[in-house]
Structure 1
Amino acid sequence: MPLEAIVFDLDGVLIDSEPVWEEVRRGYVASHGGRWLPDTQQRLMGMSTEEWARYIATDLVDGVTAEEVAYTVIDEMSQRYAEGPPLLPGAVEAVRRLAAYRPLGLASSSPRALIDLVLGQLRLDVLFRAAVSTEEVDAGKPAPDGYLTAAARLGVPAEDCVAIEDSGNGLRSAHAAGMTVVAIPREAHPPSDDALALAAHVAKDLDELTPDLLAAL
């Protein structure tokens, strides 16, 4: 099938934000006398705002609402990003290189406010023709909703898109949407072997992302 568009994830692909998310949410749970479980971070990766806020309020902390969790955590993340998001090496160059090749979309589990903040700070917002937060769809990753919506907003079939992902839930989401998936695993939170097996290519970093590579997939 022809390659018509490229859809990036944000957290863990363009910015090294997963450690920040973990620190902020873990700190919230600790400050409210909650319990952070061994699998909590892996479970949270890919969830929409509604999903992770509800999980924290229901399973980890007593006496708070999901709305209170979301407001406090997102406000803290915005403050952390105020001086610039934790950009990953080669991110800006990769976006610019691929934007000159095919239309770009974004399918992120971050809330819309943080997506807009990050892309604006990096001056990449004009290069993405469609950006979707899983706040805006029925289900977060590993459900395919975010990727399917990004493809629809780009006006192309999902099966004609390449997705760039790092997490297990993200890989499952893009694959379930019918996209060809390139994985760029993060050492701190590597995807499971079965999730990684869904990728058509596993790259070591963003510098590997070239038009020639994606065309060959």
Structure 2
Amino acid sequence: MNQLPCYPAISYSNGGETNMAIEAVIFDMDGVLVDSEVYWKQSRIEFAQTLGKVWTDEDQRLAMGRNTVEWAQVMQERLAIDMSIEDIIADMKRRVIAHYEERLPTLPGALEAVQLASKHYRIALASGSPTEIIQRVMQLTELDKVFEIMVYGDDIPNGKPAPDIYIETLSRLNVKAENAVGIEDSANGIRALKAAGMYAIAAPSPGFTLPDDILQMADYFLDSLERFSLNVIQEIEQQSN
């Protein structure tokens, strides 16, 4: 593969360990496997418009990567509405699933990356999206037959950037953090991976740029999962030695 930009996590490295072999690859879903951010953003814009409000790009960035209750709270606060969290969640689930049923926007190289990883590593999904949405996407892509473990945002009290969802995923896999790498598109996702003590591959979703400090925090950068290969994992392992 072509040489890709690589950002060693100097300040955040899993220091002191040598010859640490990667055993598991953990994928985020939204913005990594499917270009769902466009649907979430569009659904939030539509939701806001029905209330005579405006949903901005900054609002969207604040909501990205969080668990279900947390992004609903962001919507409630940013739109200054008195609708209950439960009603916001129900409305958004309906809108997003309707978009998925119409067209599922898998990202280039995403399905191939999961299939490749599954042949050499244990693989899991860790997504902050609502359970119903994750399950529907997994059914439509048939990735529910590939992932060994799937952890949903509804199962986790604290969403990204808290490391909870990755700590839970590692626990279910029975894999140590220093033996796992995660693939994330958002700043909150990268922060969560590093807070969990894992290696992090930054793969920004289309149309979003990660801040320089987040790129420096990551162990590797991919501008597309089409560039994912076993060499990427091997280079991360070599960095740790």
Q: TM-score range by the shorter chain?
A: over 0.9
Matches within 5 A, 1:149-168: 149-168=168-187
Output the aligned Cα RMSD: 1.4
Partner residue, 1:78: 97
Deviations along 1:1-32, whole A, 9 cap, x unmatched?
Answer: 12110000111111011111011012111211
Partner residue, 1:87: 106
The aligned amino acid for 1:30 is: Q
User: Do the aligned partners of 1:159 and 1:177 also contact (CA within 8 Å) in 2?
Assistant: no
User: Do the aligned partners of 1:34 and 1:62 also contact (CA within 8 Å) in 2?
Assistant: no
SS of residue matched to 2:148: strand
Q: Which runs of 5+ in 2 are unaligned?
A: 1-19, 237-241
Partner residue, 2:207: 188
Partner residue, 1:67: 86
1:118 & 1:178 partners in 2: Cα distance? 28
SS of residue matched to 2:126: strand
- Give the alignment's TM-score, normalised by structure 2: 0.86
Residue 41 (str. 1) matches residue 81 (str. 2): no
Partner residue, 1:138: 157
Identical-residue share of aligned pairs (%): 35
User: Do the aligned partners of 1:144 and 1:174 also contact (CA within 8 Å) in 2?
Assistant: yes
Partner residue, 1:116: 135
Q: 1:187 to 1:89 in 2, by over 3 A?
A: closer
Q: Residue 219 of structure 2: which of 195, 200, 217 is its match?
A: 200
Point out which structure has higher relative CO (alpha carbons under 8 A, 6+ apart). 2
Give the deviation of 1:110 after TM superposition. 1.0
SS of residue matched to 2:111: helix
Give the deviation of 1:58 after TM superposition. 3.2
How many residue pairs are counted as aligned between the two chains? Answer: 217
Q: Which runs of 5+ in 1 are unaligned?
A: none
User: Do the aligned partners of 1:33 and 1:61 also contact (CA within 8 Å) in 2?
Assistant: no
Partner residue, 1:127: 146
Q: Which has the larger radius of gyration?
A: 2
Which range is displaced more, 162-171 or 50-59? Answer: 50-59
2:206 & 2:143 partners in 1: Cα distance? 26
Q: Residue 191 of structure 2: which of 159, 163, 172 is its match?
A: 172
